[in-house]
Amino acid sequence: MTRGGGIWAVVVWLTAGLPAAACDLCAIYSADNAREQRKAGLVLTASESFIPYRTVLFNDEKISGSDLDFNDSSITHIVPGYNFSRRFGVSLGLPVVYHNFKRTEVRYSLTSLPVVRTEQSSELGLGDVSLIARWTVFELAKMEYGFGVNILAGVKFPTGDTDRIADEVEQTRIFEALLPSGTPHDPLGHSISGVHQHDLSPGSGSYDGIFGLTARARWSRLFLNAQFQYYLRTEGESGFTYGDEIMASGGPGIYLLLHEHFTLNLQGIVSYDSMARDELDGRLSNRTGLTAWYLGPQVGLTVGERFSAVGGIDLPLRITANGLQNVPDYRVHASLVWRF
């Protein structure tokens, strides 16, 4: 390969265009892990996703107020990975979850009056670790153009703390014990906050399947990529099951700077995120489930052949949510990748 070709090889697959960095796949493949010049060896990725959940929706109507509940969520992924070859690699996702939040709840008891409690605090802990494999099923790289497709699959393990889910389920069961038998009731109907306990829980208590597909194309300085993810949730802590989640995103980009030792690109990304309703003991909660569309820019940078970085912001175009929920005001994401 010529020297110029080497530069292109660095920049061709610079970004996989994965804006929702809170997710496990995004953390791993948000920078240049999926680029063409993948060599066997270690790769270390650090990614950050910050999402302020300060918009409160009640049956899709925005709730106004001066002292509403909120959750500022930060998830940092440390992702060591190893590429066995150009076509096959594995990554281990270690999420560190931090929530700064305020939520008000009515805590029910079978033996005393309910207590209204406002909790303003923070939660820090290791989330659910994921192990994900990548297989490059198709790859075509020429000087002027290129195309590639990756398939991703993995497992998320129940390593994160689940005390908050256990507490939420316990409150559900106490409240339901107070209802006449046979009364139809939402499993999370006792909640008076859009920030639920399961929203704050670092872990799920479940083994979940992770599946993904990424595709990318380049022609000269222009590129286009897209990715699809599916999270298959299983029953976790205390019979609680998070709803399955589908994410899709992608968009066109252009390399603004092409230098021998660094590159800079800009991309516009449209994202779709759909979370199904959560379940408790097999009953769906109509206070969960969300569909959102985002649009935002993303900037990518490579320095040499070992370092790359990506950063972007997602602005909500439209969010619909069931029941009472706090939804994102916006999403900020960034990733740093070092290839050894």
Round to whole Å and give the CA distance between 93 and 102.
28
Instruction: Judge contact between 293 and 16, C-beta under 8 A.
Output: no
| Listed ranges 20-28, 155-163, 172-180, 263-271: which one lies at the site for another protein (CB under 8 A) | 172-180
Q: How far is the CB of 65 from another protein (least distance, A)?
A: 5
Structural element, H or E, at residue 247: strand 245-258
CA diameter of the chain? 78
Q: Is position 109 an interface residue for another protein (rule: CB under 8 A)? A: yes
Task: List the alpha helices (DSSP H) in the chain.
Answer: 3-12, 24-29, 163-178, 197-200
In DSSP terms, which residues pair with 112 in a beta bridge? none
Q: Is position 318 an interface residue for another protein (rule: CB under 8 A)? A: no
Q: How far is the CB of 114 from another protein (least distance, A)?
A: 7
Does residue 29 sit in helix, strand or coil? Answer: helix
- Over the window 11 to 50, marking each residue x when it contacts another protein by CB under 8 A and - when it does not, the resulting string is ----------------------------------------
Round to whole Å and give the CA distance between 292 and 276.
12
Among 140, 179, 254, 315, binds another protein (CB under 8 A): 179
Closest to another protein by CB, 77 or 103: 103
Q: Is position 178 an interface residue for another protein (rule: CB under 8 A)? A: yes
Q: Is position 63 an interface residue for another protein (rule: CB under 8 A)? A: yes
Task: List the alpha helices (DSSP H) in 129-183.
Answer: 163-178
Strands 41-53, 290-303: pairing is unpaired
Q: Is position 144 an interface residue for another protein (rule: CB under 8 A)? A: no
Q: Is position 184 an interface residue for another protein (rule: CB under 8 A)? A: no
Q: Is position 60 an interface residue for another protein (rule: CB under 8 A)? A: no
Q: Is position 70 an interface residue for another protein (rule: CB under 8 A)? A: no
If binding means CB under 8 A, how many residues of this protein chain bind another protein? 23
Nearest in space to 11 (alpha carbons), one of 298, 269, 250, 221? 221
* Residue-level length of the chain: 340
Q: Is position 120 an interface residue for another protein (rule: CB under 8 A)? A: no
Among 108, 223, 231, 240, binds another protein (CB under 8 A): 108
Give every strand in the sheet of 55-58, ordered side by side. Answer: 61-62, 55-58, 324-327
Q: Is position 180 an interface residue for another protein (rule: CB under 8 A)? A: yes
Query: Could you list the residues that contact another protein (CB under 8 A)?
Result: 56, 58, 63-65, 68, 104, 106, 108-114, 116, 175, 178-180, 189, 192, 324
